[in-house]
Structure 1
Amino acid sequence: MASPLDDKTRSIIKACVPALEAHGLTITTEMYRRLLANPDIRDLFNISHQKDGEQPKALALAVLAYARNIDNLGAMAGAVERIAEKHVGLNILPEHYPYVADALLGAIAHVLGDAATPEIMDAWGKAYWFLAEILIGREEQIYVAHAAAPGGWVGWRPFRVSRRVEESETVTSFELTPEDGKPVMHHVPGQYLSFRLDVPGHGSERRNYSISSAPGSRSYRISVRRIDNGVVSDWLHDRVKEGTVLQVSAPAGDFTLGNPTPTSIVFLSAGVGLTPFISMLGALGAGTAKAPVRYIHITRTPATEAFGPYIRDLADRGLLCADIFYSRATPQASQHATGVTTHAGRMTQPWLAQEIDRAATWYICGPDGFMRDTIATLKATGVPESQIRYEFFGSAADSTLAG
């Protein structure tokens, strides 16, 4: 267990908040430059988040939040759990932490120059290892639980693509079955899989994809949207066929369907943000709990709407009611179904405000801007923060979504 930080260390860390506000992004950018110079460490990262600057932004926000909350680290519990789950998915191990320490402390000294006094550097060294020990301890707990779970495993496990299905013109599903023929651990609806991929011409890549199947013991399914010029998404769509073997780590993530199931649920998604909700809906449909479910989804056109027939089937069976927004098309009669209302144009926040169910638990997944606006509307109309749950894409470089 990590030893508590002393008063002097916490005081110095708090005093660094203005410097982090001014130079935090420069520090984390320099930190990643140093880390990624080591090929063994480089392969642990999603390089696309380095190229677009999202990972340094997200880390800068996390370091700033850590400094601001150094006297009340309980406020960081949710962020720590998300980081630990992400680390386990990527198979981060205790031996990786010293590399990060050297890069971070070196970056602080480099950027702050003479302002990085020995006292400041000592305080940040203590603060880093205090948090690192918390993460290492939590990650060890998760690894042990994965190893002990029926069908569970630790590390990378080979899975074969046993089936692929085009869900829309932009989304393809891949069913994954373990090569060893043994069972897989039941995931918690909403979790994701992490992948170690060798992409020709690009080398080793890491990606996370939400599981879009209901929990089971034989296989998993992921559903991937093709991204313009996306190194991995293009490769998956164009090159990965039935029979291709992929390296997969055990399910991870804390954006999950509550246990016990909330008494009333709203799933609100945009684009491929629907994938964790498809898993949750599968679990709800197979269980005995019949919580009222409302499904609100925004997509460009009927051709980009993934899992449309599945949603309409659930609606026909009375398992949910749905609103589908086509931001770039007018719905046709063929898109209508019992329990499904289709809309032309984007979902507006005034429309959402009129539809608020304050008793429901709201699950939100989609691009950061969409989530930021939606969460603001929910809070403004009186939905308690404890009933708002969300999953972000990428690195959560939006300060309103990273807490």
Structure 2
Amino acid sequence: MAPKPLSPETKAIVKACVPALEAKGVDITQEMYKRLLANPEIRDLFNMSHQKDGEQQRALAFSVLAYAKHIDNPAPLGPMIERIAEKHVGLNILPEHYPYVGKALLEAIAHVLGDAATPEIMAAWTEAYWFLADVLIGREHQIYEDHAHQPGGWVGWRRFRVAERRPEAEDIVSFKLVPADGKEVMLHKPGQYLSFRLDVPEHGSQRRNYSISSAPSHDHYRLTIKRQPEGVVSNWFYDNVREGQELDVSAPAGDFQLPAEPQKPVVFLSGGVGVTPMISMIETLAENANAPKMHYVHSTHSPKTEAFGDLIRKLTAEKKMTADLFFSRDKAGAPATTPGMAVHEGRIPFEWVTTNLDRTADYYICGPVDFLVLMVQTLKEAGLPTEQIHYEMFGSASNPYLALDADA
């Protein structure tokens, strides 16, 4: 059932709050999370590393501001809402969690705005919160239903066993996961991720998601994880997770997806460990005799940090794709290239992207936020239509330009 439309009075009041949100939005979300995370059951649903670095608070502050700005016409919020819904499904957020969030958010607004939070303003924000909550709950219900009815699908947490651990590059390891119950698993959409419920010694309950780095299969998934300097969970995976270990996993989620039947040529632009969802897409297309032309553009520090290099060289040698590799620090020791592959020193220059722009192609981008912003801006400024630009953000959507698919 569609949510009840917002009243004109509520829309007017919410829009009038935009200057206050621009000035105090992060203060409100910080206060909200302080209240919300006092409940251990709710706290365990969140990635706490995003709380420590402030990323989650900034992401939510931006989302609330964007909602207020687009309250009359929420269509531009569609991609953001879809990302949030997919993330919630991965973390197994349920309708009964929304009252806790609403209570904490409304209390935070009242606390930060003080006397300015009149009864009329609080009533409007209550109505606006529950309208958006109902939109998310409805979309999340659809995704849960889809997961439940797919062959090998499931809802909630399912036990998986690490069947293989394999080093890919310096500080990068892949883990092959198979279901502990021995039954089949649902086919993921290339580009999606898995979410994990973990108990990390000395750090307690943790939630994380990692991109699937393999083509869809009915019997396994593969993750590829880079050890991050301050990463509690990535270091735990790297140092402790071995073959035979079991993990709690939710069904594949995420809106960064390769179409079932791609019609346009495909260009993959990745930086660092952002290569992981690209490999899932590349392996999928490589198995399809009717796949469109593929071009792979990847930036990493050096040959030591290049993951899946053997696969890329194999596919270029087989003429299934072309590739450009950029080594930002040192390309010495790089394996021999194959026809259709070029190796460069330095980062990917925006001039190179525009000079080699394929206006007929769909572009898929993943990597650090600065890399994402540069690549997306470069493509848009070069005139590539927004609908041909697709990207995945690791972490919270705290960058306004990326989170809203901004045109400028």
User: What TM-score does the superposition give when structure 2 sets the normalisation length?
Assistant: 0.97
Which residue number in structure 1 is paired with residue 366 of structure 2? 365
Residues 309-349 of structure 1: per-residue CA shift (max 9 Å, x gap)? 00110101111100111111034463422221111111111
2:262 touches 2:291 (CA, 8 Å); kept in 1? no
1:86 touches 1:252 (CA, 8 Å); kept in 2? yes
Separation (CA, whole Å) in 2 of partners of 1:259 and 1:358: 21
Separation (CA, whole Å) in 2 of partners of 1:393 and 1:333: 27
1:102-117 map, 5 Å: 102-117=103-118
Secondary structure of 1:251 counterpart: strand
Residues 161-216 of structure 1: per-residue CA shift (max 9 Å, x gap)? 00011000121000000000000000000010000011011111000000001001
Which residue number in structure 2 is paired with residue 349 of structure 1? 350
Deviation at 1:261, TM superposition (A): 0.4
- Residue range with higher mean Cα deviation, 114-123 or 259-268: 259-268
1:312 touches 1:338 (CA, 8 Å); kept in 2? no
2:266 touches 2:293 (CA, 8 Å); kept in 1? yes
Which residue number in structure 1 is paired with residue 287 of structure 2? 286
User: Is 1:312 aligned with 2:313?
Assistant: yes
Separation (CA, whole Å) in 2 of partners of 1:333 and 1:219: 31
Separation (CA, whole Å) in 1 of partners of 2:276 and 2:316: 17
Residues 2-43 of structure 1: per-residue CA shift (max 9 Å, x gap)? 100010000000000011000001101111111111100000
Deviation at 1:382, TM superposition (A): 1.3
Which residue number in structure 2 is paired with residue 152 of structure 1? 153
Deviation at 1:95, TM superposition (A): 0.5
2:164 touches 2:175 (CA, 8 Å); kept in 1? yes
Which residue number in structure 1 is paired with residue 262 of structure 2? 261
Secondary structure of 2:147 counterpart: helix
Which residue number in structure 2 is paired with residue 296 of structure 1? 297
Secondary structure of 2:253 counterpart: coil
Secondary structure of 2:269 counterpart: strand
The Cα RMSD (Å) is 0.9
1:59-208 map, 5 Å: 59-208=60-209
1:331 touches 1:344 (CA, 8 Å); kept in 2? no
Deviation at 1:283, TM superposition (A): 0.9
Identity percentage over the alignment? 59
- One-letter amino acid of the counterpart of residue 50, structure 1: Q
Residues 88-145 of structure 1: per-residue CA shift (max 9 Å, x gap)? 0000000000000010000000000000000000000000000101111111111111
Separation (CA, whole Å) in 2 of partners of 1:225 and 1:387: 28
Deviation at 1:79, TM superposition (A): 1.1
1:274 touches 1:297 (CA, 8 Å); kept in 2? yes
Separation (CA, whole Å) in 2 of partners of 1:330 and 1:84: 41
- Residue range with higher mean Cα deviation, 325-334 or 378-387: 325-334
Which residue number in structure 1 is paired with residue 394 of structure 2? 393
1:262 touches 1:360 (CA, 8 Å); kept in 2? no
- Residue range with higher mean Cα deviation, 291-300 or 331-340: 331-340
1:21-40 map, 5 Å: 21-40=22-41
Unaligned runs of 5+ in 2: none
Secondary structure of 1:334 counterpart: coil
- One-letter amino acid of the counterpart of residue 166, structure 1: P
Separation (CA, whole Å) in 2 of partners of 1:352 and 1:103: 45
1:194-273 map, 5 Å: 194-273=195-274
Separation (CA, whole Å) in 2 of partners of 1:116 and 1:138: 31
Paired residues, what number? 403
Separation (CA, whole Å) in 1 of partners of 2:117 and 2:253: 37
Separation (CA, whole Å) in 1 of partners of 2:294 and 2:37: 45
Residues 239-270 of structure 1: per-residue CA shift (max 9 Å, x gap)? 00000100000000110002330321100000
Secondary structure of 1:167 counterpart: strand
Secondary structure of 2:316 counterpart: helix
User: What TM-score does the superposition give when structure 1 sets the normalisation length?
Assistant: 0.99
Which residue number in structure 1 is paired with residue 58 of structure 2? 57
Secondary structure of 2:46 counterpart: coil
Separation (CA, whole Å) in 2 of partners of 1:325 and 1:335: 14
Which of structure 1's runs of 4+ aligned residues deviate more than 4 A? none
1:335 touches 1:342 (CA, 8 Å); kept in 2? no
Deviation at 1:62, TM superposition (A): 0.6
Separation (CA, whole Å) in 2 of partners of 1:357 and 1:334: 27
Separation (CA, whole Å) in 1 of partners of 2:28 and 2:282: 42
- One-letter amino acid of the counterpart of residue 302, structure 2: T
Residues 211-233 of structure 1: per-residue CA shift (max 9 Å, x gap)? 00100100000000000021111
1:187 touches 1:251 (CA, 8 Å); kept in 2? yes
Secondary structure of 2:339 counterpart: coil
Separation (CA, whole Å) in 2 of partners of 1:389 and 1:198: 33
Deviation at 1:60, TM superposition (A): 0.6
- One-letter amino acid of the counterpart of residue 16, structure 1: C
CA, structure 1 residues 20+335, in 2 after alignment: closer, same or farther (shift >3 Å)?
Answer: farther
- One-letter amino acid of the counterpart of residue 53, structure 2: D
Separation (CA, whole Å) in 2 of partners of 1:342 and 1:170: 22
